[in-house]
């Protein structure tokens, strides 16, 4: 957590734009304001406690490099991967969720590599557990077999 002070004098409204820009760019924890008046100046003093969102996001979610599965998978596996993506898209639309909530591309690539598609084989893939198999795995197996 960090702290920043702003003073906005009655006659100095340009500092208001700077304050608003700062507030939009940070995750604000707390704001204190105090009206200050003496012989030399009159205005508002703001004390802002914040977290720098750019640094926070980058630490929490480091960006992964995009994978081109056409280059990573062999031709037959990529064809299976493409079919799995179509099935995933339909399942996601039916459930009104984003496609990655059903299975990620990384998980689909691992599924495409499986010799036999069944519940036991799905459990061997990192990130896929019993609940996902109940919710999506069984349906995926049925749709692929069709």
pLDDT at 57 over 60: no
Residue 49: band (very low, low, confident or very high) from pLDDT cuts 50, 70, 90: very high
Residue where one domain finishes, among candidates 60, 84, 110:
60
Mean of per-residue pLDDT scores for the chain: 86
Is there a contact between 99 and 120 (Cβ–Cβ < 8 Å)?
no
pLDDT at 81 over 90: yes
Average pLDDT over residues 82-102: 91
Residues 131 and 76 both lie in one domain: yes
Gap between the Cα atoms of 122 and 129, Å rounded: 8
Residue where one domain finishes, among candidates 60, 85, 109:
60
Q: What is the pLDDT of residue 13?
A: 65
When divided into structural domains, the chain yields a total of 2
Phi-psi region of 96 (alpha: psi -120 to 50; beta: other; left: phi over 0): left
Is there a contact between 92 and 102 (Cβ–Cβ < 8 Å)?
yes
**3-class DSSP assignment, residue 110:** helix
Residue 82: band (very low, low, confident or very high) from pLDDT cuts 50, 70, 90: very high
Whole-structure pTM value: 0.57
């Amino acid at each position: 957590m960090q702290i920043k002070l702003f003073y906005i004098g009655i006659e100095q409204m340009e500092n208001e734009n700077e304050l608003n820009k700062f507030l939009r760019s940070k995750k604000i924890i707390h704001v204190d304001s105090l009206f200050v008046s003496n012989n030399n100046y009159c205005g508002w003093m703001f004390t802002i406690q914040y977290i720098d969102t750019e640094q926070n996001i980058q630490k929490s979610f480091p960006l992964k490099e995009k994978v081109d599965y056409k280059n990573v998978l062999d031709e037959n596996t990529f064809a299976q991967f493409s079919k799995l993506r179509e099935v995933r898209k339909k399942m996601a639309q039916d459930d009104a969720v984003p496609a990655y909530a059903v299975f990620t591309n990384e998980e689909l690539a691992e599924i495409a590599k499986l010799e036999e598609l069944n519940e036991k084989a799905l459990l061997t893939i990192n990130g896929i557990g019993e609940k996902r198999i109940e919710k999506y795995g069984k349906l995926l197996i049925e749709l692929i077999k069709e």
